[in-house]
Structure 1
Amino acid sequence: MPYQIMTHNLPTATLGTSRLIKAHHFGTVGARPKVYLQAGLHADEWPGFLVLNELIKRLRKADDDGAIIGEIIIVPVANPIGLAQNFHGYIPGRFAFSDGGGNFNRNWPQIAEKVEQRIRHDIDGSPENNIKLIREVIMDEVMSLPETTELQGLRKTLMLMSMDADEVLDLHCSGEACMHAYLPQEFEDYFKPLLVHLKAKVGLSELETGAASFDETNVSVWRHLKKDFAHLIPWGCRSLTLELRGENDITKEMALEDANALFAYLIDRKVIDAPPVEPPASDLTYYPLDAMDLVKTPCAGIVCYHKNIGDPVEEGEVIGEVVDLMNDDVEQSAQLLIARTNGVLFARLQRRLVICGESIAKIAGKEHLPFREIGKLFEDK
């Protein structure tokens, strides 16, 4: 199938309005491997928009050359609902204003148990047959999801394009951060080539965050089924969330570098037939997500950091301070931010005016932290 752009209209939310999602399709429908990429599910995280724009340019040339072996779907703008939430020049695109509110990347529909009920008596000794069966049932279950509201329609549309993919790459960013990723613990080795090409130094791996995020939803059926069927059901989908540095790390040069890294990875995975690209030297380190310290503010005020992104920190070290502007004694108005683990400061809030109790920085560590609860590793539900 030649390169196509498919338009998907979402359910109309209000009189006289409509929104759409555009998907760029490369390769042959049903060809393997199938890779799905999207950006901007959190509609206030924009580096991925430009990265996928540059990647599409490279893929169009590869398509003209007949070099695309598998199937690639790219959704460069995944959340038109969030992008429309323009409030006096600011786009608060992380949480929905309508449909009950909530984080756009949390609490996605979970269909694993329904799939298991339908396939458990048909699993045989052929992993290939089992994957084919499970994918068919997955897509059937996704087709049956409701799409009454605009948000339901958005989720169903993205799931229909991604849930039968071999790989799902969801592009995000942080406030200020180095390149990093969140991924299932089972895929550390598998996705290492991707993170090496992207020059990431930090990978956060987990077994269960409890967030039901988009990337977790794509892999959740397979993780659920493998508990009972083990080797009879190989991983039919692998997924991760890529954090493309910080919100303002948007330049043509960065976007082209990241797009080239993604293209090189697609060559490695034999989705594209082209000479392999030599990966850069890497100092990638994986850290367990339950060992990540979320640094919280002791008071409201202005935050001043003493540590920069990528700096190593030690437990008990001061990484910054919050100046309480309402304190009568200006000599005592600064309250310290103390690291609770040894590790690396890899992300922090871009905004400097903070509220009391807010999580404003992340430190990747190696040792489990007792206040980090498995299954509740993301706080912004």
Structure 2
Amino acid sequence: MQRLEYPLLSASLGHQKTLVGFRYGTPGARPKAYIQASLHAEELPGMLVAHHLRQSLEAAETAGRLRGEVILVPVANPIGLSQRLLHRPAGRFEFGSAENFNRHYPDMAAAVLADAQPLMGANAEANVATVRRLVGQWLARWQPTSELESQRRQLLLLSHDADLVLDLHCDMDAVMHLYSEEACWPAFEPLARLLGCQAVLLAHESGGGPFDERLSGLWWQLAAALKSAGVNAPLPQACASTTVELRGEGDVSHDLARQDAQAIVAFLEHAGALASTAPMHLPPMACQPTPLAGSQTLHAPVPGVLVFLARPGDTLGAGDVVAEVIDPTAAGQARVHEVRAEVAGVFYASVRERYVVAGGEIGKIAGATPFRSGNLLGA
């Protein structure tokens, strides 16, 4: 194991943050897996999973079971982790720019397209190596102008050449679920089985430039751009990336973290990054994948006290009452406004607050029929 430290661009005199990672196995060995936690810094379950992953990976390395290379970044957002407002963590948006820490990553396919065109040949494996080299060179030339840009750059430097990328997040109050691009789903079906995901949300591209999709999207986007430019060279999907939502913000326990770490280790064994210790039997899928474009975000029609009649994990039908919003100040009897599901599916995430403003988000239902377009991720 090698501990890695990367100082970020200093935002102020006498003030320095450092990104810390751990490398297991031999640099350059394949497959390479990159795992990071808490890019949204108040989402802490992934940090505890990373703690338990360290122990498992160190034991595997000592036992000689590491076949590939594994990079683990337990705290992917030291900037957001330091942000607090009125005694509460505020790690989703950077204070200086108001930008979401998991949006606005650079389009690496567009960045290397011109350089890649004359270098593509008939050998798919050689083409993959060429693209990884070009992306690495482009990232090395990128001169960040802010602390946030330097953090984004360093995360991409560590992950851009990975075969597998797991970005560990959580929702406010939720069941286990994951997001991924459609091109990556075959690689991650075993992970969804091992984690017991109760929702899997897939998109061709969700929009907004999130970390995981810039890594996997590089390959299918570059392949399409090369084809449009008349370059018919083979370029496979050389990276599969996913955002794993480890239930809710309050689900920080050793029991759950050990369970999730064991599932990730089993996935790394299945993917060939670790040698297996025993024959593996994948559990059945706990859900069927649904399009992210079919996910309904529920909103409150009025302000008031929020009372849920359904819990994350419940399967709902269209028209089912999910929650009530109660206005206790109304004249006469208190007004009770029902919030109903507009799609059938698993109610996979909800807010934790119990007072909601008009138009405020309440929760999400994984519907099977696409009805949304454009940027599919929330703020």
Q: Does TM-score exceed 0.5, indicating one fold? A: yes
Shift in Å, 1:230: 7.1
- 1:276-287 pair list within 5 angstroms: 276-287=279-290
Structure-2 change in CA distance of 1:120 and 1:351 (3 Å): same
Shift in Å, 1:141: 1.1
Task: Find the partner of 1:253 among 255, 258, 276.
Answer: 255
* Counterpart Cα distance in 2 of 1:329 and 1:46: 44
Q: Which amino acid aligns with 1:84?
A: S
Secondary structure class of the residue paired with 1:117: helix
Aligned to 1:185: 182
- 1:60-99 pair list within 5 angstroms: 60-98=58-96
Shift in Å, 1:8: 0.6
* Counterpart Cα distance in 2 of 1:119 and 1:177: 42
Shift in Å, 1:231: 7.0
Is 1:135 matched up with 2:138?
A: no
* Counterpart Cα distance in 1 of 2:216 and 2:185: 14
Secondary structure class of the residue paired with 2:40: coil
Shift in Å, 1:5: 0.3
Aligned to 1:214: 211
Moved more, 106-115 or 200-209: 106-115
Task: Find the partner of 1:119 among 87, 91, 116.
Answer: 116
Aligned to 1:378: 377
Is 1:234 matched up with 2:233?
A: no
Secondary structure class of the residue paired with 1:36: strand
Aligned to 2:142: 145
* Counterpart Cα distance in 2 of 1:222 and 1:103: 24
Superimposed CA distance per residue, residues 76-100 of structure 1 (whole angstroms, 9 cap, x where no aligned partner)? 00101101112232101111101x2
Shift in Å, 1:324: 2.3
CA contact (8 A) 2:176 2:197 kept: yes
Is 1:322 matched up with 2:321?
A: no
Shift in Å, 1:349: 0.6
CA contact (8 A) 1:26 1:73 kept: yes
TM-score between the two structures when normalised by the length of structure 1: 0.95
Secondary structure class of the residue paired with 1:239: strand
CA contact (8 A) 1:115 1:221 kept: no
Structure-2 change in CA distance of 1:231 and 1:190 (3 Å): farther
* Counterpart Cα distance in 2 of 1:211 and 1:254: 31
**Runs (4+) off by over 4 Å:** none
Is 1:38 matched up with 2:41?
A: no
* Counterpart Cα distance in 1 of 2:181 and 2:272: 22
RMSD, matched Cα: 1.3
Shift in Å, 1:21: 1.0
Question: Percent identity, aligned pairs only?
Answer: 35
* Counterpart Cα distance in 1 of 2:281 and 2:262: 12
Aligned to 1:155: 152
Structure 1 spans left out of the alignment, 5+ residues? none
Aligned to 1:47: 45
* Counterpart Cα distance in 1 of 2:32 and 2:288: 27
Superimposed CA distance per residue, residues 160-203 of structure 1 (whole angstroms, 9 cap, x where no aligned partner)? 00011011100000011110000011222221101111111210
* Counterpart Cα distance in 1 of 2:262 and 2:212: 22
TM-score between the two structures when normalised by the length of structure 2: 0.96
Superimposed CA distance per residue, residues 215-274 of structure 1 (whole angstroms, 9 cap, x where no aligned partner)? 011112212122226770011111010000001011100000000000011111111112
Task: Find the partner of 1:265 among 250, 259, 267.
Answer: 267
Superimposed CA distance per residue, residues 355-377 of structure 1 (whole angstroms, 9 cap, x where no aligned partner)? 211222100011122xx22x311
* Counterpart Cα distance in 2 of 1:56 and 1:148: 33
Secondary structure class of the residue paired with 1:285: coil
Structure 2 spans left out of the alignment, 5+ residues? none
